Amino acid sequence: MDKRRGQAYHRRFSPLYTDYYEYSMTQGYYLSGKGQDQAVFDLFYRQNPYGGGYAIAAGLRDAVDYVLNMRFTSEELGYLSSLGYRDDFLRVLEKTRFTGDITAVPEGEVIFPGEPIISVKGPLIETQLLEGLILSTVNFQTLIATKARRMVCAAEGRSVYDFGLRRAQGDGGMGASRACFVGGVTSTSNVLLAFEEGVPVGGTMAHSWIQSFGSELEAFRAYTQMHPDDSVLLLDTYDTLKQGLPNAVIVGQELEAHGHHLWGVRLDSGDFAYLSKKVRAVLDEHGLSHVRISVSNQLDEYVIESLVDQGAPIDIFGVGTRLVTGHNDGALDGVYKMVQLRDRPIIKISENPAKINIPGEKELYRYYDSGDGLWLLDGLCLARGDDEPTVLMHPDFDYKKTEVAGLKRESIRKEIVRNGELVYAFPTLLETAAWGAQRFALLYGEHKRFANPHAYHIGVSRELFDLRRSLIEVRSS
């Protein structure tokens, strides 16, 4: 794990952080002699968040960290005993460490519904207990990383900063800020995250700073004396165009006279398209064309897109509430389903066809369009079963097929943990962000649309299609 991480974030994660029925089932596995049976669980989601065409994988590093450091304290075991769990079962839990394998899509990768983002393989007594911990971590961070990527996409090259810590849901603030970088933001106001991850940190000033002085001009001067080259002045405490902007011009010119430079100004209310144009014109007129304009206040991808379309001369979007809370989707619908037990593929049947999973231990491939080199579709094949397929089938309909013979393909999942030991070198958060941006550039623009995005196709090999159909028939009869 990244050695920069401090103790406040690299904290112990209690194995009690899961749902009650996980322990009921796990004790049942133990008592019925199934506890050491080898199982494979897939984590996947069923529907893209925000009505979009994709999601961005995040949360893997934290989830793996928690899994590999899972230990029961005597107090936790005592509490489970008070709930009626057997002493012999608790002695097993006391010695339990994760000894299995984890295969996963790297953080920052573009992902789609139904794909196994993470696969966990190991004894049932270990793999079942991980469900709540892994889902809560990966679902939340993937939701936020996806929201961040949508905002960065809307900004069309302008900077997007994370200003959301104060609006995050308690302990979720760290995971949210981290996921923001996975999704492409370039700075954060979260000092602890910056300390532990080595990412850029910054901020401006609050209205309270200006209100604590006798005048706005006095407040601006005092602040720029402490920060002569990196001050961002907040313009809207009293009146943006009549007071804030003229005072910023005065201070900016005073800094120039002493060999320094005002870094930026911030708008926090009003019509940003109108105000940013007025502010830009006045700054340029007074020789302050280098001063950046940032805006903040209930921004999301739709507001950012509108401002860009209106030609608003905004350099930085400071986003908070609607980013770190995943507005307006409350959660990613990720699930953790058993797909194989004792080397036998298994399936879950449902009245809702969308809830019928794809069975077995699988490989996930991404195929490239032979014309422009962008992504064409993804394909699922049985692990250690299929030859390289020439055709990919729709999971439900055999008449829907895509020829893939001769197309370039790549496996997009990595081996993360083998026999309980970490075998994957996690990149830094900034490296993850850069890699994720490169990957996102390979996705066709039609899938990136906010309104009615084109659906990205995921196919299965003929062998996997036939297996799934046969299991459905067996379980339905």
Residue 387 has pLDDT above 50, yes or no: yes
Helices (H), 130-190: 131-155, 172-182
Tokens of 223: 């602040």
Answer whether residue 244 is part of any domain: yes
User: In which domain, by residue range, is 205 found?
Assistant: 146-324
H/E stretch holding 316 reads: strand 316-319
CATH code for position 300: 3.20.20.70
pLDDT number for residue 77: 98
What pLDDT digit, counting tens, does each position of 340-359 carry? 999 999 999 888 888 899 99
What pLDDT digit, counting tens, does each position of 107-156 carry? 999 999 999 999 999 999 999 999 999 999 999 999 999 999 999 999 99
> pLDDT averaged over the chain?
95
Number of domains in the chain: 1
What pLDDT digit, counting tens, does each position of 227-284 carry? 999 999 999 999 999 999 999 999 999 999 999 999 999 999 999 999 999 999 999 9
Answer whether residue 15 is part of any domain: no
- Look up the pTM and report it: 0.95
Q: Based on DSSP, count helices (H) and strands (E) in the chain, helices before strands.
A: 16, 21
Work out the percent of the chain whose per-residue pLDDT is above 90. 91
Contact 300, 151 (CB under 8 A): yes
Answer whether residue 462 is part of any domain: no
Answer whether residue 418 is part of any domain: no
Contact 187, 200 (CB under 8 A): yes
pLDDT number for residue 170: 76
Answer whether residue 394 is part of any domain: no
Beta bridge partners of 380: 364, 460
Answer whether residue 230 is part of any domain: yes
pLDDT-derived band at 100 (thresholds 50, 70, 90) equals: very high
Closest to 374 measured CA to CA, from 408, 411, 412, 414: 408
Cα distance between residue 217 and residue 113, in whole Å: 54
Cα distance between residue 208 and residue 55, in whole Å: 38
Answer whether residue 153 is part of any domain: yes
Helices (H), 50-130: 60-68, 74-82, 87-95, 124-127
Least confident of 167-171, 223-227, 396-400: 167-171
Answer whether residue 425 is part of any domain: no
Beta-strand relationship, 375-382 and 458-460: parallel
Q: Token match 């197309």: residue? A: 407
